[in-house]
């Protein structure tokens, strides 16, 4: 072991070994992995080893598909058998909604390139898994690329393949502490100190402590999980093919063959955390005593699904721990505020996600950014609030206990809720507000007109749609009030503020007293932000954007920071309301201490609204005349009261974000995480119209100029009108030409209540992107006719917002 490396990877589980392998493969050879015991001494050794593509999050499904394809390759490279049994896999649906969901996912998989799936009847499924009873099964999805691997063999294979490519790893070397230096880290181990530029926390069950070694509180916790392995089952032993990996979602079990018996893993509603502060250092390869009381009901369902199990003994029980983040996805990437400290932990399914996690992290470290959109596993998707122990316990527990429970897009889950609320929250609740959550904050979804209104969970159009229609009407025809605490706000000041902003934004900076939509790019010319820049005219600028991206954007701003610039996240200080609709100007005038008639579209200024000192911008996400009125947290209640009173005779209507999202799609206004993601470019998304090509330089200029001068993107953004139906598109639904070729996918969808049409925005091949082209789209698995329409089906000339 040397005393200096470029990278030290802490932890020799499947994730650390995959990171090591990918770093070496991508050209960084001066890398070492340290393992306190033997390889795979954490949760990796006792995993069930199952691998499958199905994941409700399309980005995670793609990552899993990458990992599965990689496994035979690392076996070849290393010469170490990974024990891969590619049995194929079944996912069973036991309720009509689940069957709808599976059919929907089958189509969504197609749009992300997973084409080895098939929908089966219960009888067809039984033929592929004859030991299963299909009682209550309504249908199933088959996937070719599913099966199981040998866990320790796989870790060994990653590590050996890494070594063959020039990396090193050492067992029996425990990292005791970390010291940050001006140019990297000192890694203190039992066997001496190592100086390095980068440290990777791949410490699995010990990730919490290895985080704390660097002063980082990662939102991660281990939870306990059971599986059993049976003795030989005659039907399995005599079968001339292996039983497929079978996931019975309504039964809370997964099953695969294990020699001539089967392994059955059990998820249940009774979640149990273990060692929330990290596993004890002396924890080795022990297991916990099985706790049958926790899984009794699910076990009974498992026995019913696989009746043959009842006739044989149980050979082994495994009750082991593995780690979860609040949303169950990994925590990967550069940890904000800790240069050179990288996270590769909370990987709940290391064998099916570890390959993708290793690849993503290695690209990030070497190239500066991952090739594909890594948002869903980015460690910066959480903020400081997620350090809270109760938040971690509630959310990770909720994820575990709902692992196989169906989730609906209009469902609000209770864990970690009511953490942060805007001051007018209680008054808005009394007015009927139904709340969603963005990051740590409760955000208004819509206002129910009567107390006992109950929104039914559905994959289709919700019964709240009528309410949202009324709110949209108020926005378009009268006067609406929207709590905009759920926008992010950053204040930029200092002698070099202008120069810095000019560098990080591709857009021309707004003049004093003006606001402008501002595109931010990465060095490779991909999107980094669809933000709004406001120039208050006193040397202070604001950057406004999506609230849930606060830590993610702040990490980027800090990475690009220069002397003479200061940036502050105002998210905990400033909130506000948007006053929207054709009557907004006249009503604002009643309470403003200055004339607002000369405020043009995209003007911004400081204004006293009644007794509230405000920062007001005439802006519009809805495409209607509107003012975003920002105030201090302490003024939120007063501002709401002032505006409600002023607009009372105009029937002012409080609205939520659902109405905002419906109206914005009628304007073809894209939003982050839907139309805009970090693996898309300005030309794909039409964001290039906001780029100031005359600026001498900005981050991403060379790359986006090259794109501009190239042959054009493979897909471009369009708006679709979808034929009548009972569901709207939500995202990632595949789009087909009339000839039957897949030509793109939906980025977002909603019902447009003003134009009275189901609308979607989509990325499709340019040749089929012209207005009037007929296409086909699968929504909740059902084929629907659609056509490309001109952008902005409502008020295409933008007169309403500019009026």
Interacting residue ranges for ligand FAD, rule: CB under 6 A: 10-16, 34-37, 41-44, 46-50, 174-175, 202-206, 210, 225, 227, 318, 320-322, 345, 347-352
CA 100 – CA 424 distance, rounded (Å): 39
Q: Which of 539, 562, 547, 537 is nearest to 492 (CA)?
A: 539
* Counts of helices then strands in the chain (DSSP H, E): 20, 37
Query: Can you tell me whether residue 330 is helix, strand or coil?
Result: coil
Give the shortest CB-18-to-ligand FAD separation in angstroms. Answer: 8
Give the shortest CB-32-to-ligand FAD separation in angstroms. Answer: 11
Q: Which is closer to ligand FAD, CB of 286 or CB of 451?
A: 286
Give the shortest CB-96-to-ligand FAD separation in angstroms. Answer: 28
Give the shortest CB-227-to-ligand FAD separation in angstroms. Answer: 5
CA 509 – CA 505 distance, rounded (Å): 8
Query: Can you tell me whether residue 126 is helix, strand or coil?
Result: helix
CA 498 – CA 496 distance, rounded (Å): 6
Both tokens of 599, joined, read 């405020």
Q: Which is closer to ligand FAD, CB of 38 or CB of 498?
A: 38
Both tokens of 108, joined, read 């969504």
Q: Which is closer to ligand FAD, CB of 37 or CB of 195?
A: 37
Q: Where are the beta strands (DSSP E) in 689-740?
A: 716-722, 734-737
What are the distances in angstroms from CA 170 to CA 32, 174, 496, 702?
Answer: 8, 10, 47, 42
* Contact status, residue 494 vs residue 502, Cβ threshold 8 Å: no
Cβ-based neighbours of 173, under 8 Å, separated by 6 or more: 1, 34, 35, 36, 189, 190, 191
Give the shortest CB-305-to-ligand FAD separation in angstroms. Answer: 18
Q: Which of 354, 431, 360, 393 is nearest to 11 (CA)?
A: 354
Q: Which is closer to ligand FAD, CB of 85 or CB of 553?
A: 85
CA 401 – CA 272 distance, rounded (Å): 9
Both tokens of 361, joined, read 């992290």
Give the DSSP letter string of 198-216: EEEE--GGGHHHHHHTTT-
Q: Which of 681, 780, 767, 664 is nearest to 732 (CA)?
A: 780
Give the DSSP letter string of 334-374: EPTT-TTEEEEE--TTHHHHHHHHHHHHHHHHHHSS-SS--
* Contact status, residue 527 vs residue 677, Cβ threshold 8 Å: yes
Both tokens of 270, joined, read 């009774």
Cβ-based neighbours of 598, under 8 Å, separated by 6 or more: none
Query: Can you tell me whether residue 753 is helix, strand or coil?
Result: coil
Give the DSSP letter string of 472-518: HHHHHHS-EEEE-TTEEEEEEESTTHHHHHHHHBSSPPPPTTEEEEE
Both tokens of 482, joined, read 């929207």
Torsion of CA 115, 119, 123, 129, to 10 degrees: 40
Give the DSSP letter string of 652-670: -EEE-HHHHHHHHHHTT--
Both tokens of 47, joined, read 């995993």
Q: Which is closer to ligand FAD, CB of 138 or CB of 321?
A: 321
Q: Which is closer to ligand FAD, CB of 35 or CB of 603?
A: 35
Give me Rg for the CA atoms of the chain: 27
Torsion of CA 765, 768, 772, 773, to 10 degrees: -110
CA 115 – CA 117 distance, rounded (Å): 6
Give the shortest CB-148-to-ligand FAD separation in angstroms. Answer: 7
Bridge partners, 192 (sequence order): 189
**Residue count of the chain:** 803
Label the pairing between strands 541-546 and 480-483: unpaired
Q: Which is closer to ligand FAD, CB of 174 or CB of 695?
A: 174
Bridge partners, 745 (sequence order): 734, 763
């Amino acid at each position: 072991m040397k005393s200096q490396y470029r990278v030290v990877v802490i932890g020799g589980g499947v994730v650390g070994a995959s990171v090591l392998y990918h770093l070496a493969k991508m050209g960084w050879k001066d890398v070492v992995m340290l393992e306190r015991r033997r390889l795979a001494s954490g949760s990796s050794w006792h995993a069930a080893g199952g691998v499958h593509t199905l994941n409700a999050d399309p980005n995670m499904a793609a990552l899993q598909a990458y990992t599965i394809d990689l496994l035979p390759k690392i076996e070849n490279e290393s010469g170490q058998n990974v024990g891969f049994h590619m049995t194929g896999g079944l996912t069973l649906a036991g309720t009509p909604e689940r069957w709808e969901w599976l059919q929907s996912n089958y189509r969504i998989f197609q749009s992300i390139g997973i084409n080895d799936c098939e929908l089966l009847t219960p009888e067809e499924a039984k033929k592929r898994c004859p030991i299963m009873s299909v009682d209550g099964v309504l249908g199933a999805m088959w996937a070719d690329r599913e099966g199981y691997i040998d866990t320790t063999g796989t870790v060994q294979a990653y590590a050996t393949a890494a070594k063959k490519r020039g990396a090193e790893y050492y067992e029996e070397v425990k990292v005791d502490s970390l010291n940050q230096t001006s140019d990297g880290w000192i890694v203190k181990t039992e066997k001496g100190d190592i100086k390095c530029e980068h440290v990777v926390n791949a410490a699995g069950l010990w990730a919490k402590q290895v985080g704390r070694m660097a002063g980082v509180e990662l939102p991660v916790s281990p939870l306990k999980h059971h599986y059993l392995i049976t003795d030989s089952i005659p039907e399995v032993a005599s079968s001339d093919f292996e039983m497929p990996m079978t996931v019975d979602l309504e039964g809370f079990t997964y099953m695969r063959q294990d020699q001539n018996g089967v392994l059955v893993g059990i998820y249940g509603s009774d979640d149990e955390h273990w060692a929330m502060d990290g596993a004890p250092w002396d924890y080795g390869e022990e297991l916990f005593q099985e706790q049958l009381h926790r899984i009794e009901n699910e076990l009974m369902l498992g026995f019913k699904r696989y009746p043959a199990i009842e006739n044989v003994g149980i050979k082994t029980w495994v009750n082991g721990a593995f780690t979860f983040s609040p949303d169950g996805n990994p925590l990967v990437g550069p940890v904000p505020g800790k240069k050179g400290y990288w996270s590769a932990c909370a990987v709940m399914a290391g064998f099916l996600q570890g390959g993708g996690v290793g690849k993503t992290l290695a690209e990030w470290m070497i190239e500066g950014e991952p090739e594909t959109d890594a948002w869903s596993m980015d460690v910066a998707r959480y903020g400081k609030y997620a350090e809270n122990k109760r938040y971690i316990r509630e959310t990770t527990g909720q994820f575990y206990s709902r692992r196989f429970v169906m989730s609906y897009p209009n469902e609000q889950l209770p864990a970690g809720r009511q953490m942060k609320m805007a001051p007018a929250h209680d008054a808005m609740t009394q007015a009927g507000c139904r709340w969603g959550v963005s990051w740590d904050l409760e955000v208004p979804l819509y206002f129910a007109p009567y107390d006992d209104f109950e929104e039914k969970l559905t994959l289709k159009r919700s019964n709240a749609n009528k309410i949202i229609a009324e709110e949209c009407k108020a926005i378009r025809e009268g006067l609406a009030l929207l709590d905009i605490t759920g926008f992010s706000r950053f204040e930029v000041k200092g002698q070099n503020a202008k120069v810095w902003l000019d560098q990080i934004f591709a857009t021309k900076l707004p003049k004093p007293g003006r606001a402008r939509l501002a595109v931010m790019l990465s060095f490779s010319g991909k999107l980094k932000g669809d933000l709004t820049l406001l120039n208050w005219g006193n040397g202070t600028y604001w950057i406004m954007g999506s609230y849930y991206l606060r830590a993610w954007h702040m990490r980027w701003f800090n990475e690009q920071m220069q002397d003479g610039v200061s940036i502050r996240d105002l998210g905990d200080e400033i909130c506000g309301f948007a006053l929207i609709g054709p009557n907004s100007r006249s009503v604002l005038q009643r309470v403003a201490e200055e004339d607002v008639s000369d405020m043009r579209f995209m003007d911004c200024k400081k204004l006293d609204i009644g007794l509230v000192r405000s920062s007001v911008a005439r802006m519009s996400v809805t495409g209607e005349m509107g003012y975003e009125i920002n105030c201090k947290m302490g003024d939120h209640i007063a501002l709401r009261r002032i505006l409600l009173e002023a607009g009372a005779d105009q029937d002012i209507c409080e609205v939520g974000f659902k109405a905002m999202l419906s109206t914005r799609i009628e304007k073809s206004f894209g939003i982050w995480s839907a139309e805009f993601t970090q693996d898309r470019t300005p030309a794909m998304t039409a964001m290039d119209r906001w780029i100031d090509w005359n600026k001498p330089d900005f981050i991403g200029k060379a790359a986006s100029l090259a794109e501009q001068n190239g042959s054009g993107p493979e897909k471009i953004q369009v708006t679709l009108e979808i034929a009548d139906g009972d569901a709207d598109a939500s995202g990632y639904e595949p789009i087909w030409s009339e000839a039957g070729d897949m030509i793109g996918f939906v980025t977002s969808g909603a019902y447009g209540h003003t134009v009275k049409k189901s609308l979607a925005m989509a990325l499709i091949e340019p040749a089929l992107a012209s207005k009037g082209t007929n296409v086909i789209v699968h929504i909740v698995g059902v084929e629907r006719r659609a056509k490309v329409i001109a952008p902005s089906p409502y008020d295409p000339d933008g007169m309403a917002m500019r009026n």
